[in-house]
Structure 1
Amino acid sequence: MQNHLKHELQNVLSGKSEIRFGRTVQSIACYLVDGEKTSKVAENEKHFKNQETKRLEEYISQEKLWIKEIDLSQYVSEGAEQKVYLKDTEHVLKLNDSIYYNSWKDYLYNLLLHNYFFPDTAYELVGFTKDNEILYAVVQQSYVSITSSTDLTKVKTFLTMNGFVNNRNNDYYNPELGIILEDLHDENVLTRNEVLYFIDTVFYLTDEFWKS
């Protein structure tokens, strides 16, 4: 079962299988992967990401994915990795600079994994913007109104049933899939009418994920 799921997820990340709001994300991820194959190995992670960002910006310009206007008056909140703005009564916009990831490719993989596991709060990549020379992905997500605070024991139970082990605090690991899922505190998992909604997830892949 888990091997079948891993294969399915590998197909999603490589663009071979469709997923909700996945096409644009998959296209960019594949473009970045192709760039890795043709470029020299970077001396360090920071240099690699700088080079990757340049390639990504070229793609953004080529595909006309720049977003020039965002209504900053609709500011809601921000954390270490993103800024949140209200778009309308049903959606929010999130600006993420991929600071949690060593590469933009890994951030895009995170979006795809989130959309696979949690389609009811799927991210739609609508474009990119820059602020103070920092590149941000702009994603749209359904707004979730909460009806009660989140019981983290229910989050743990749900994830355990799906093969994830709670290895520390609000972080989880699926050893069979080789997937890490972190930062699932009660502001990133909301509750509406007794249903859990995962709105902000941080997925990482280990080497185990790509093994057959």
Structure 2
Amino acid sequence: MKDVKYELQNIIFRDEQAGAASQLKQTQNFLRRHAKTSVDAKEQQQLKSKEAEVILAFAQQHGLIYEPPILEVDFIGEGAEQRVYKLNDTQVVKTNGGIFYESWLDYFNSLLIHNYFFPATAYSFLGFKLIIGELHSVIKQEFIITSEETDLNYVKEFLLYNGFENVRNNDYINRELGLILEDLHDENVLSNNGILFFIDTVFFLTDKFYSGK
């Protein structure tokens, strides 16, 4: 488990931008540096709206404004924080306002951790988009076809085997890694022929995650 924690810390705190996830890591790098250097960083972590102007300037400078139209005719469904649209026969696009997170940095950290644990449903960051005046991220993901309903007891067993203890309802914690994983109801974990696909995860870092860094 120490090796896993080291790899995760390396993913979150390193500055490399190589590979297919470069736009995701590039944006996370920027948000991490901004949080360190900003005079009122603590306040900005509490109120994402104060980040929007800075993020939009960064996105415009680096070509990270998502220009293609997102059409309601392609709308598939929605959750508490995002809307899902069909992109093609194998992929979907999701717009996310990040309402579950205190800061956009927390949101991008969660994406990176998801991609580490669940590469079959990895997120690709396409850019930012203003939707009705509000900042949203636009991400791409594989479209998962289900063959049966998700057994949440199986989800609980799978996560416990991997060090995540169920603390209440559909929320989990890995005390050794210092990670909280929330909102794993049966619409966020899909099942196909007995294989679980985690399509929407919400990760948070605890103080324990930073220990030994």
Q: TM-score, normalised by structure 2?
A: 0.93
Matching residue of 1:177: 177
Task: Point out where structure 1 has 5 or more consecutive residues left out of the alignment.
Answer: none
Give the AA of the match of 1:183: D
Deviations 1:171-212 (A, max 9, x none): 100000010001111111000111000001010111110110
SS at match of 2:120: helix
Sequence identity percentage: 43
Code of the residue aligned with 1:211 in structure 2: it is: S
C-alpha displacement at 1:48, in angstroms?
Answer: 4.5
Structure 1 counterpart SS, 2:155: helix
Q: Which residue is equivalent to 1:201?
A: 201
CA distance in 1, matches of 2:15, 2:35: 19
Note the aligned Cα RMSD (angstroms): 1.8
Partner of 1:50: 49
Aligned match of 1:139: 139
Say which is worse superposed, 127-136 or 113-122, in terms of deviation. Answer: 127-136
Alignment match, 1:15 = 14
Q: How many matched pairs?
A: 211
SS in 1 for 2:84: strand
**Does structure 2 conserve the Cα–Cα contact (< 8 Å) formed by 1:150 and 1:191?**
yes
CA change 1:141–1:120 in 2 (3 A) is: same
2: CA distance between counterparts of 1:186 and 1:149? 8
Secondary structure of the residue aligned to 1:67 is coil
Q: Which runs of 5 or more residues in structure 2 are unaligned?
A: none
8 Å CA contact retained: 1:145, 1:192:
yes
Kindly report which structure 2 residues correspond to 1:1-212, keeping only aligned pairs within 5 A, or say none: 2-15=1-14, 21-42=20-41, 44=43, 48-68=47-67, 69-212=69-212
Deviations 1:142-161 (A, max 9, x none): 00010000111110111001
What is the deviation of 1:17?
A: 6.7
Contact (CA 8 Å) 1:96, 1:138: kept in 2 or not? yes
User: CA contact under 8 A between 2:16 and 2:25: conserved in structure 1?
Assistant: no
In structure 2, distance between residues paired with 1:88 and 1:102: 32
Q: Is the 8 A contact 1:149 1:191 kept in 2?
A: yes
CA distance in 2, matches of 1:9, 1:118: 13
1:4: how far off?
1.6
- Report how far residue 56 of structure 1 moved: 1.1
Alpha-carbon contact 1:121-1:197 (below 8 Å) kept: yes
